[in-house]
């Protein structure tokens, strides 16, 4: 029994260590996931195919399934969201091979089909907010949530570039509380403006993470709507069962 208890304790410790490692050193920014917001999912899908799908696959998803779930016409999907010769019924894969990805980036870009389930929405949202300029990094960019990441800041045109507070005196201090990760509780200050304001960038990555949460379980949209119907049915059944019980037991009481 003592050995079993020690093994269980070791496993718990390892799981805890893995959780802390996955959390990263950066601040966790919270977002509200709303997969019931179809417009948000549509905007997230647009951002995904424009900025993510060139390197990251979503091989468990098909274009036509995404179109149907998100209320996008197949014609719109073909004309505006498929940039290769893929058919509407094919999976969302990329032309880059795993070997090419490892050669170019040092590691194969992960499939994003279920990334939101493995990492969590808040982690991905925080990761997308935590890129900063780092002269010591190989590409000049690092990330507080995943130090040494090989992923470039693909959304830099939208967000701009951040620096760590106190990194140097060249960052415009007027951006310190603008929401691009700035503020008293954030290690970042905006150094170079992007195309979007802080609120617009936050909405863009919120929509993107919403879409990734949907990708991780497409059936959840139908499951939740069916669940509401089932709860309503059970409530109605419970009312009838209650009055039926009173009718059966009235002579006993």
pLDDT bucket at 189, cuts 50 / 70 / 90: very high
Q: What pLDDT score was predicted for residue 249?
A: 85
Whole-structure pTM value: 0.76
The CA distances from residue 172 to 53, 134, 193, 200, in Å, are 33, 17, 10, 20
pLDDT score for 24: 54
Q: Which of 29-43, 110-124, 179-193, 228-242 has the lowest mean pLDDT?
A: 179-193
**Sorting pLDDT into bands at 50, 70 and 90, what band is 177?**
very low
Q: What is the pLDDT of residue 242?
A: 87
Instruction: Give the DSSP per-residue string, 204-246.
Output: HHHHHHHHHHHHH-TTHHHHHHHHHHHHHHHHHHHHHHHHHHH
Q: In terms of C-beta density within 10 A (0-12 exposed, 13-18 middle, 19 or more buried), how is residue 150 classed?
A: middle
Nearest C-alpha neighbor of 206 from the set 47, 31, 27, 30: 31
> Is there a domain that residue 91 lies in?
yes
Model pLDDT, residue 35 = 92
Least confident of 47-56, 75-84, 160-169: 160-169
The answer to whether residue 105 scores a pLDDT higher than 80 is yes
* Residue-averaged pLDDT of the chain: 84
Kindly report the CATH number assigned to the domain that includes residue 51: 1.10.760.10
Residue with tokens 């150094």: 191
- Domain assignment present for residue 108? The answer is yes
Task: Name the residue among 169, 170, 172 with its Cα closest to residue 190.
Answer: 172
Pairing status of strand 141-143 against strand 160-164: unpaired
Residue 8 lies in a domain: no
Query: 56, 109 in Cβ contact below 8 A?
Result: yes
Query: Domain for residue 84, yes or no?
Result: yes
Q: What is the model's pLDDT at position 18?
A: 39
Residue 161, domain extent: 30-222
Q: Does the pLDDT at position 8 exceed 50?
A: no
- Do the domain assignments include residue 230? no
Instruction: Give the model's pLDDT for residue 199.
Output: 93
CA distances from 89 to 73, 78, 190 (A): 13, 10, 42
In a domain, 11, yes or no: no
Residues 6+ apart with CB under 8 A from 36: 221, 224
Domain count, the chain: 1
Measured over the CA atoms of residue 247, residue 249, residue 251 and residue 253, the dihedral's sign is negative
Residue 229 has pLDDT above 50, yes or no: yes
204 near 158, Cβ under 8 Å?
Answer: yes
Structural domain includes residue 234: no
Percent of the chain, pLDDT > 90? 57
Over 70: is that where the pLDDT of 154 sits?
yes
> Looking at the predicted structure, is the pLDDT value of residue 4 above 90?
no
Asked if residue 203 is part of any domain, the answer here is yes
């Amino acid at each position: 029994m003592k050995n079993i208890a020690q093994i269980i304790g070791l496993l718990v410790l390892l799981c805890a260590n893995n959780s802390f490692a996955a959390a990263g050193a950066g601040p966790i920014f919270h977002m509200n996931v709303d997969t019931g917001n179809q417009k948000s999912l549509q905007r997230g899908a647009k951002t995904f195919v424009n900025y993510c799908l060139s390197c990251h696959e979503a091989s468990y998803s098909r274009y036509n399934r995404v179109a149907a779930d998100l209320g996008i016409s197949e014609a719109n999907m073909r004309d505006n969201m498929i940039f290769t010769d893929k058919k509407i019924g094919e999976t969302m894969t990329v032309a880059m091979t795993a070997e090419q990805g490892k050669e170019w980036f040092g590691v194969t870009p992960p499939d994003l089909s279920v990334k939101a389930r493995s990492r969590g929405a808040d982690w991905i949202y925080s990761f997308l907010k935590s890129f900063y300029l780092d002269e010591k990094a190989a590409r000049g960019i690092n990330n507080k949530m995943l130090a040494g990441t090989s992923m470039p800041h693909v959304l830099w045109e939208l967000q701009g570039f951040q620096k760590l507070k106190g990194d140097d005196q060249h960052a415009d201090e007027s951006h310190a509380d603008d929401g691009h990760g700035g503020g008293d509780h954030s290690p970042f200050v905006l150094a170079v403006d992007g195309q979007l304001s802080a609120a617009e960038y936050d909405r863009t990555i919120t929509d993107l993470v919403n879409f990734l949460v949907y990708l991780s379980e497409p059936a959840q949209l139908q499951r939740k709507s069916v669940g509401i119907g089932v709860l309503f049915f059970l409530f109605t059944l419970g009312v009838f069962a209650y009055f039926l019980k009173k009718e059966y037991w009235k002579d006993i009481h």
